[in-house]
Amino acid sequence: MSRNGDASAEEFLMKKYSRLVRKEIRFLFIMGADSDDLLQEGMIGLVKAIRGYVPENNASFSTFATVCVRRQIRTAITSYNRKKHSPLNTYVSFYSGEDEGADMIDIMCESDIDNPEKIVLAEEKRNEIYKDIEEKLSDMEKDILRLYLRGLSYSDISMETGKNEKAVNNALTRIRLKLKERKPEN
């Protein structure tokens, strides 16, 4: 019905599968972006799925929608990581609009992007996390963590690694415990 232009059918599918989108973005984020930005990208993927679904291709709509949503989210994350739009996302206006009376220098000093100390500290923290992952996790746990962070479900990880879902669940529990044991920050 949606393919024939029925807007209420499309709205029904959007509501029904919005939970799928939320599931796909639950552990993902884009640095400097709002969580709603990823939700919006996921919903765009869902709209593409609704409008591009062909039942004759012998795939369920749910499977097709999941693929479309994941692709749209990955594309958004990849695009952001290119930092192509960084100047637009981090610009500060010379004109006092909302911040009436605020000086340009005050606004610039508050930004973490322009604070070399915070940039260096963030880089050090990221390197510590990577070091912990390398030292504390087994190769299987690293593979499962990589797939999990890509947004794959337990069953997808299970198929990808050849492990059963219970083993995937146990590995993720161990990963959480091992990475939680990090040294407290000074």
Q: Report the C-alpha gap between 175 and 164 in whole angstroms.
A: 17
* Co-location of 81 and 133 in the same domain: no
Q: Which two tokens mark 13? A: 């599918």
Q: Report the CATH number at residue 120.
A: 1.10.10
Length of the chain, please?
186
Same-domain pairing of 83 and 127: no
CA distance 168 to 147: 11
* Predicted local confidence at residue 163, as pLDDT: 92
Number of domain units in the chain: 2
Residue 1 maps to a domain: no
Q: Is residue 102 part of a domain?
A: no
Is 48 contained in some domain? yes
CATH number of the CATH domain containing 48? 1.10.1740.10
Is 168 inside any structural domain? yes
Indicate whether 138 belongs to any domain. Answer: yes
Express each pLDDT in 29-75 by its tens digit. Answer: 665 556 677 788 888 888 888 888 887 888 888 888 889 988 888 88
pLDDT in tens, 127-180: 887 888 888 889 999 898 888 888 888 888 999 999 998 999 899 888 888 877
Range of the domain at 80: 7-87
100 falls within a domain: no
